[in-house]
């Protein structure tokens, strides 16, 4: 086995890197040493033959680690997805496994598939997005590899040192992994997806252990929308309990979103009350967003909601309660009745 | 004959969800001298198990389990007041288990207690890892359905689960034994009534240690530091909609 030796070298390089933090003149060299040694497998998502661009955040994160970066895709008619992925900047190679059994990303067979390919490639790091797919799959992979996964990282400090939010983003944890392979999920909004053109990675077929899947995929029901995807939108408008009903939510929020070209989000209160679909929930247990503009109306700003949006560049809030906690984080706050202010804002944005 | 359900519900004692956590001075963690409660997602797990029994599913028993400091038994009593039949506490006052360690421990509990359904919360609101259920499923090589918003178990042991995914829901089918993790949408947990709280005091609660399961508190991750997130400065308020638009333009958001 080559892996342990390689890892020893890697660890020494990292130790060296840490010790030399204070002497910046030597650091670039150590960085270089590290770059040659780390090798990362970035798990890419696909859906019906289309590469999921938000999963490319794992590639950007991998590049921050240095070293070679390979992508991984699996499913039916996967070659075209692999070809598409091979053009992504920073990907040295794309490994694909052609098998319809992997189309739905069921972890029961996808995890053994990854384990096989991770072992074969001798990777030091395995990265995936902290999406529904990554959350479902990666801990199973980690357990099979006997590794303690690091979830939802927002920064990388070294080959074994990662930063992640805990307690709904109320504390920031820096951890160092002692595991041989680092299994990590990546917060999409913390690592901008790189260019999807300009790369020229090799494309190579991976191994397929063809593990049995005891789980049957039955159906799905996805909210259809022409609007930008909530998790990656540049602008998000979000409504809360203050909208009072689904009718008002549907009357006020879509026109505002259209005027801005924004995605629509909602607070848990709005989702629980049936004003908006579950998939629109922003917060600790819903989506994390970090758009250029997060404009919210009728949201008080509970800590669980703030967890999902406080990394937005600019936060604007409309609320009738001047003491609402949302105003403590909002860059622009407007105290007023949202039933007046939102339509007025929509009109003025349209005409401007 | 219908498959008997022998349910395991792991629960975790965490800082109450309404408390704003504060990072300690030494930057080693957060202040823990605050109100604690059962992890909200675990309440949903207990509730779901109890509802299965109430829906006349063949529930043999519901075992609540926790690993943590002595005070975790309060959480187990709460679980029993909600309807769990008995509890096991692995009491370790100075050991902090990581999800992988918990999953390994749970695997042993599943085997020793002959469980065929484990319902866990999708994540605990303290470490926000979202791993334990999936890890346990991997270690046992059982099917998993995470972020469940609807669970239906047929008499023959076929389990249909609707799960919350990005952009909507999907429905899966598998057979027992199985791992399910709960999403907030699954149910509305009940409050324990006073008579039930009294009754729960008499339910069996076994105390064990990691050693009893042949385990130690080995950790794979080393905490380097815990810090406060960068504080956001509220930018103050504007008078009207025009003020809002011009301020947003000024900030480059429009």
pLDDT band at A127 (very low <50, low <70, confident <90, very high): very high
User: Is the predicted pLDDT of residue A26 greater than 90, yes or no?
Assistant: no
Average predicted confidence (pLDDT) for chain A: 90
Q: Which residues belong to CATH 3.40.50.1220 in chain A?
A: 235-351
pLDDT in tens, B24-33: 999 999 999 9
Q: What is the pLDDT of residue A226?
A: 84
pLDDT band, residue B234 (cuts 50/70/90): confident
Mean of the per-residue pLDDT values of chain B: 96
Class of domain B5-251: alpha beta
Quote the tokens at residue A325: 């906690």
Mean pLDDT of B241-249: 96
Say what the ipTM of the complex is.
0.96
Domain with CATH 3.40.50.620 in chain A: 35-205
pLDDT at position A38 over 90: no
Delimit the domains of chain B by residue range: 5-251
- Closest residue in chain A to residue B248, using alpha carbons only: A332
Is the CB of B214 inside 8 Å of chain A's CB atoms?
no
Query: What pairing do the DSSP bridges indicate for beta strands A182-186 and A150-153?
Result: parallel
Q: Does A20 touch chain B (CB under 8 A)?
A: no
The answer to whether the Cβ–Cβ distance between A167 and B145 falls below 8 Å is: no
Instruction: Point out the residue among B99, B222, B241 whose CB comes nearest to the CB of A175.
Output: B222
pLDDT digits (tens, 9 = 90+) for B30-69: 999 999 999 999 999 999 999 999 999 999 999 999 999 9
- Answer whether A133 touches B (CB < 8 Å): yes
- DSSP H helices in chain B: 40-54, 72-82, 99-112, 132-140, 194-200, 241-250
pLDDT computed for residue A30 by the predictor: 54
Residues in chain B closer than 8 A to A293 (CB atoms)? 248, 253-254
Residue A4 has pLDDT above 70, yes or no: no
- Residue B23 has phi, psi (to 5 degrees) of -75, 135
Place of tokens 């496994």: A97
Between A13 and A183, where is the model more confident?
Answer: A183
Please check whether residue B79 touches A, CB under 8 A: no
Q: In the predicted model, is pLDDT for residue A281 greater than 90?
A: yes
Chain B residues inside the 8 Å CB shell of A348: 241-242, 245
Q: Is B238 on the interface with A (CB under 8 A)?
A: yes
Per-residue pLDDT at B235: 79
Q: How far apart are CA A146 and CA B220, in angstroms?
A: 10
| Banded model confidence at residue A25, pLDDT cuts 50, 70, 90 | very low
- Cross-chain Cβ contact A175/B224 below 8 Å: yes
Least confident among A280-289, B22-31, B199-208: A280-289
Does A150 reach chain B within 8 Å, measured CB to CB? yes
**DSSP letters along B151-217, please?**
EEE-TTSEEEEEEEETTEEEEEEEESSEEEEE-TTS--PPPPPHHHHHHHTTS-EEEE-TGGGT---
Mean pLDDT over residues B68-77, rounded?
97
Look up the pTM and report it: 0.90
Say what the pLDDT of residue A1 is.
38
Domain spanning A235-351: CATH 3.40.50.1220: yes
Is the per-residue pLDDT at A13 higher than 70? no
More confident call, A15 vs A248: A248
Q: Which of residues 159-198 of B touch A (CB under 8 A)?
A: 160, 164-175, 183-185
Among A50, A137, A167, which would you mutate to test the B interface (most chain B Cβ atoms within 10 Å of its Cβ)?
A167
- CB-based contact, B154 to chain A, within 8 Å: no
| CATH 3.40.50.620 is right for the domain spanning A35-205 | yes
- What integer is the mean pLDDT of A42-61? 93
- How do beta strands A202-205 and A182-186 pair? unpaired
């Amino acid at each position: 086995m080559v892996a342990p030796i390689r890892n020893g070298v890697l660890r020494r390089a990292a130790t060296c890197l840490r010790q030399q933090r204070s002497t910046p003149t030597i650091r670039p060299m150590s960085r270089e040493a590290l770059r040659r040694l780390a090798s990362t497998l970035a798990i890419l998502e696909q859906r019906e033959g289309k590469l999921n661009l938000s999963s490319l955040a794992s590639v950007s994160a991998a590049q921050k680690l240095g070293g070679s970066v390979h992508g991984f895709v699996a499913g039916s008619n996967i070659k075209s997805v692999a070809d598409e992925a091979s053009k992504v900047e920073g990907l040295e190679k794309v490994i694909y496994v052609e098998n319809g059994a992997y189309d739905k990303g069921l972890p029961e067979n996808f995890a053994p598939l990854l384990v096989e390919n991770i072992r074969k490639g001798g990777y030091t790091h395995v990265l995936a997005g902290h999406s529904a797919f990554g959350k479902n799959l990666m801990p199973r992979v980690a357990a099979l590899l006997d590794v303690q996964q690091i979830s939802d990282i927002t920064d990388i400090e070294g080959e074994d040192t990662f930063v992640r939010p805990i307690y709904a983003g109320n504390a920031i944890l820096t951890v160092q992994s002692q595991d041989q392979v680092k299994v990590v999920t990546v917060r999409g909004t913390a690592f901008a997806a790189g260019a999807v053109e300009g790369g020229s990675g090799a494309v190579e077929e991976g191994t397929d252990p063809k593990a049995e899947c005891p789980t049957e995929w039955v159906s799905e029901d996805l909210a259809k929308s022409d609007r930008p995807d909530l998790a990656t939108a540049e602008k998000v408008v979000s409504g809360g309990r203050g909208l009072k009903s689904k009718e008002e939510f549907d009357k006020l929020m879509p026109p505002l979103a259209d005027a801005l070209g924004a995605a629509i989000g909602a607070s848990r209160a709005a989702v629980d009350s049936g004003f908006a679909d579950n998939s629109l929930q922003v917060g600790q247990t819903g989506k994390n967003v970090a758009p250029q503009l997060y404009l919210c109306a009728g949201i008080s700003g509970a800590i669980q909601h703030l967890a999902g949006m406080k990394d937005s560049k600019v936060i604007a809030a409309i609320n009738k309660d001047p003491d609402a906690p949302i105003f403590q984080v909002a860059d622009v706050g407007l105290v007023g009745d949202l039933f007046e202010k939102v339509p007025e804002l929509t009109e003025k944005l349209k005409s401007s | 004959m219908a498959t008997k359900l022998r349910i395991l519900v792991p629960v975790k004692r965490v800082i109450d969800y309404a408390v704003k956590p504060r990072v300690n001075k030494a930057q080693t963690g957060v202040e823990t001298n605050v109100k604690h409660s059962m992890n909200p997602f675990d309440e949903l797990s207990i509730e779901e198990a109890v509802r299965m029994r109430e829906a006349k599913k063949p529930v043999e028993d519901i075992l609540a389990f926790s690993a943590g400091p002595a005070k975790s038994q309060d959480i187990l009593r709460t679980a029993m007041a909600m309807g769990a039949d008995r509890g096991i506490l692995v009491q370790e006052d100075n050991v902090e288990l990581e999800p992988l360690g918990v999953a390994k421990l749970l695997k042993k509990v599943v085997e020793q207690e002959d469980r065929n359904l484990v319902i866990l919360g999708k994540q605990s609101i303290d470490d926000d890892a979202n791993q334990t259920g999936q890890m346990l499923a991997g270690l046992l090589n059982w099917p998993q359905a995470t972020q469940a918003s609807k669970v239906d178990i047929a008499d023959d042991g076929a389990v249909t689960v609707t799960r919350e995914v990005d952009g909507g829901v999907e429905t899966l089918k598998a057979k027992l034994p199985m791992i399910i993790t709960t999403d907030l949408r699954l149910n509305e947990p009940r409050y324990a009534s006073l008579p039930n709280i009294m009754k729960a005091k008499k339910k069996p609660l076994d105390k064990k240690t990691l050693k009893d399961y042949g385990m130690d508190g080995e950790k794979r991750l080393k905490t380097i530091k815990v810090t406060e997130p960068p504080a956001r400065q509220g930018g103050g308020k504007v008078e009207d909609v025009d003020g809002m638009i011009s301020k947003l333009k000024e900030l480059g958001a429009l």
